[in-house]
Amino acid sequence: MTALIGHRPPQHSPAPLDTTRTLTVPKHKRRRHSWIHLLLVPVALVFSVPFLQMFLTSLTPESEINKFPPSFIPSHLTFAGYAKLFEQSDILLWLGNSVIVSAVGIASHIVLCSLAGYGFARLTFAGRNVSFLLIIATIMIPTQLLMVPTYVMFARVGIIDTLMSAIVPWLASVFGIFLMRQFFMSLPVELEEAALLDGCSRIGTFWRIIFPLARPA
């Protein structure tokens, strides 16, 4: 009886997981995707024709550009147009200005729209919903109505004919604020509450927890 009471059934260790097995995709699904890709290949070729024609036109001699009917393939290729472009214009300066304006606009959109969207999504202050609705309502204002007032304002500030006049209007956008707000509202509040309980500040919670999660947006 003592032996029976002290006896324990043998414990079996769980079988090791087989890490060599891979998920296999059914053949009918792979075949369906392959047919879709075969259909997309000619469609992609059709859409690439205008870009190919534009490139060949840039290498076409000047005497054949305005010829009617136009020829898709030029008689011979020449780089005279590119040489004239770099010699008689400031194309490198224009490209540099475009890179600067685009880089500053992207960086400012990421920072400013994220901060504004997080404020409207999580912070509680008087007039939050009304302010957000007023910002969204500005989307309905046509851009043409803002051109003259924007020009007058920039002229008074003194940034006409400068890069600032091209950068300032695009530092942030209403759509960016709306997009970030909707994304932040989809995140669970428990993430921020846990960070605040650990002693992280509100701005620290945003930069360390919320902002890295906003990469999809």
Within a domain: 124: yes
Give the model's pLDDT for residue 182. Answer: 92
* Residues 110, 179 within the same domain: yes
- Report DSSP state, residue 70: P
Give the model's pLDDT for residue 178. Answer: 93
Give the model's pLDDT for residue 134. Answer: 93
Sequence-distant (≥ 6) Cβ neighbours of residue 29 within 8 angstroms: none
* Residues 108, 172 within the same domain: yes
* Residues 126, 66 within the same domain: no
Q: How far apart are CA 167 and CA 100, in angstroms?
A: 9
Domain end marker among 61, 88, 115: 88
CB neighbour burial string for 48-80, b if at least 16 within 10 angstroms, e if fewer:
eeeeeeeeeeeebeeeeeeeeeeeeebeeeeee
**Confidence (pTM):** 0.64
* Residues 66, 122 within the same domain: no
Within a domain: 8: no
Q: How far apart are CA 107 and CA 38, in angstroms?
A: 39
Range of the domain at 128: 91-186
Q: How far apart are CA 38 and CA 89, in angstroms?
A: 44
Within a domain: 35: yes
Per-10-residue mean pLDDT for the chain, 217 residues long?
Answer: 47 50 53 72 89 89 78 82 88 94 94 92 88 91 89 92 90 92 90 87 88 88
Task: Give CA separation, 185 vs 92, 126, 159, in Å.
Answer: 43, 19, 38
Give the model's pLDDT for residue 120. Answer: 92
Give the model's pLDDT for residue 111. Answer: 92
Number of domains in the chain: 2
Give the model's pLDDT for residue 2. Answer: 45
